[in-house]
Amino acid sequence: MIFIYLIMPVMVIGLSILIASLHMVAPDHWTPILSYSIGKKLKLRKTGFISFSLGMIHGIFSAILSFAIAIVGLYFFPELYLKIFAVALLVFVAVYIIINARHEEKVEKNTEIEKSILLVSVIPDPAIVPIILIAVVYGMHFVYLTLSIFVIVSAVALLIVTIALSRVLIKKLATLTPKRIDYLVAAILLGTTIFVLV
């Protein structure tokens, strides 16, 4: 029994690292960054800086959202409402990207519209709520440690995934216009809503 109590913190940290790493493999995080990089013809170092920064912001927002949900408790914020909120947010962003992609045809150079696609990468999600609920057993300092590790690993994971994929996919993605990649991002987000609903 004591062994389980001692090994549990290691498992909690390990799970938070695994969730942060696997989550950044999702196309809705790296596709917008690669889309923006191709459109702007950015160097790998700049793409890496953007992906690390957005991964950090996503990790922070997700940690805050997850922490708030864990504190409020699932009794006051049922899973059904969480799904409805997630689906509504994903659909809103997908429609927004499609409208911007169509608008880009009429506007030759609009940096704000091009940059708006990067917001997709920072949309928070409550993936780490169960980990927080387990971590609370070991005190709030451990919860903060777990969330900090989650944020750092999210940033590093998105950096690694984006750089690795940019080397592999850059030639194939370069043949697509930024508008088509915007549509691809929107399609991925709408596909994600189906996954959330199931």
What is the rounded distance in angstroms from the CA atom of residue 131 to the CA atom of residue 12? Answer: 6
H or E segment and range at residue 147? helix 140-174
Residue 110 banded pLDDT, cuts 50, 70, 90: very low
Please state, as a whole number, how many other Cβ atoms lie within 10 Å of the Cβ of residue 108: 6
Q: Is 43 left (phi over 0), alpha (psi -120 to 50) or beta?
A: beta
Higher pLDDT, 165 or 192: 165
Give the residue-averaged pLDDT of 100-108.
61
Question: Residues 42-48: contacts with CB within 8 Å, 24+ apart?
Answer: 44/163, 44/166, 47/162, 47/163, 47/166, 48/159, 48/162, 48/163
What is the rounded distance in angstroms from the CA atom of residue 74 to the CA atom of residue 80? Answer: 10
What is the rounded distance in angstroms from the CA atom of residue 177 to the CA atom of residue 74? Answer: 43
What is the rounded distance in angstroms from the CA atom of residue 161 to the CA atom of residue 21? Answer: 9
Question: Residues 73-81: contacts with CB within 8 Å, 24+ apart?
Answer: none
| Closest of 173, 40, 50 to residue 110, by C-alpha | 40
What is the rounded distance in angstroms from the CA atom of residue 13 to the CA atom of residue 146? Answer: 6
Cα 49 off chain centre by: 16
Q: Which residues contact 98 (CB under 8 A, 6 or more apart)?
A: 182, 183, 186
Report pLDDT for 164: 85
Dump pLDDT digits (tens) for 59-101: 999 999 888 877 776 566 566 665 676 677 667 767 877 777 6
Dump pLDDT digits (tens) for 119-176: 767 778 777 877 887 788 788 899 999 999 999 999 999 999 888 887 776 555 555 5
The three-class DSSP label of residue 6 is: helix
Cα 142 off chain centre by: 23
| Closest of 107, 105, 114 to residue 35, by C-alpha | 114
